[in-house]
Amino acid sequence: MVVPYSAKKDDLYYPAKNAVFFPGGRPQSDAALVVEMARLAYCQLATSFSFDQDRIRKVLEGIRFADCEFFEAEAQPDGGGSHGFLALDSINRLAILAFRGTDKDDFSDLADDFNALPQPWRAGGKVHSGFAGALLEIWPAVEGSLQPIGEYRLLFTGHSLGAAMATLAASLQRPKSLFTFGSPRVGNQAFVDLLKGLDNHRYVDCCDLVARVPPEGALGYTHVPGDIYYIDRNRAVRQLDPDDASIGRDQIEAEEDYVKNYSWRIGDVALRPLADHAPVNYVWPVTAATP
């Protein structure tokens, strides 16, 4: 199967603009289901940053999630700030909590991304201050909605900033599984230790820059361990071995190919480490690998 790839700016900066969600119906695997849920979280109204609730509900109803609750920061009149939704499939007793990633036009999201100083976290360890603030904007409402669904199988997911928020949320209420796509590092080793034993699935698309920040070093940031999946330049998903030297070669060849085929085109992202962060570049290969 040939898996598509997008270098378009619209797919990176406005992930829901041209999206056709779940074109093949409801996927069979959790990974394929939640990666599209993470992109669905980017659906917003044309006039503000608020969720396009009607569109999201319609998509979810089409894949048998009859109930959905939305969580949005209330401090900004334009709907800016943190966003997440909880989708419920009462027949299969499945609940998915999805957080929206960064909106490039929302200053509050950008401020959260760049506020990288570590701060003590309520569950333990130290975490990225901006990511912590983003989750805590909506966590009281999220926490209240999670309490009545104890019998459901609960999955957390998100892309980019949303992945960071999902990771922090997993330290406050442990889900059955955590799925993240293009996730930055969230906390230090003491924080990571809180999530030992968690069924964690972290996907990294080839040269995705966001998966490499904040840098390891003086601030102590590190990724949460678990099953790590690497999407190579040919769009195949494979479990990542951090010591695999072929990964570095694959990334070098990917960037060379990108310069030849995409960097110079009008409407395309200039750099592959940014283009690889587009949600659709996670959706297509993950769906192809785990339908």
Give the whole-angstrom CA distance, residue 132 versus residue 212.
Answer: 19
Amino acid at 116: A
Note the residue count of the chain.
Answer: 291
On whether the CB atoms of residues 254 and 272 are closer than 8 A, the answer is: yes
* Tokens found for residue 107: 């200053």
For 264, other C-beta atoms within 10 Å of its C-beta total: 9
pLDDT for residue 114: 87
Give the whole-angstrom CA distance, residue 60 versus residue 83.
Answer: 17
User: Hey, CA dihedral for 235, 237, 240, 244, is it positive or negative?
Assistant: negative
What values do phi and psi take at 43, rounded to 5?
-70, 120
| DSSP-derived secondary structure letter, 175 | -
Over its length of 291 residues, how does the chain's per-residue pLDDT go in tens digits? 789 999 999 999 999 999 999 999 999 999 999 999 999 999 999 888 999 999 999 999 999 999 999 999 876 666 678 999 999 999 999 999 999 999 988 888 888 888 899 999 999 999 999 999 999 999 999 999 999 888 899 999 999 999 999 999 999 999 999 999 999 999 999 999 999 999 999 999 999 999 999 988 878 999 999 999 999 999 999 987 766 778 999 999 999 999 999 999 999 999 999 999 999 999 999 999 988
pLDDT for residue 242: 64
pLDDT for residue 245: 79
Partnered with residue 144 across adjacent β-strands are none
What are the structural domains of the chain?
9-289 (3.40.50.1820)
pLDDT for residue 77: 63
Give the whole-angstrom CA distance, residue 16 versus residue 53.
Answer: 13
Nearby residues of 193 by Cβ (< 8 Å), 6 or more positions away:
124, 125
pLDDT for residue 75: 62
Strands (E), 149-211: 153-159, 177-181, 200-205
pLDDT for residue 110: 84
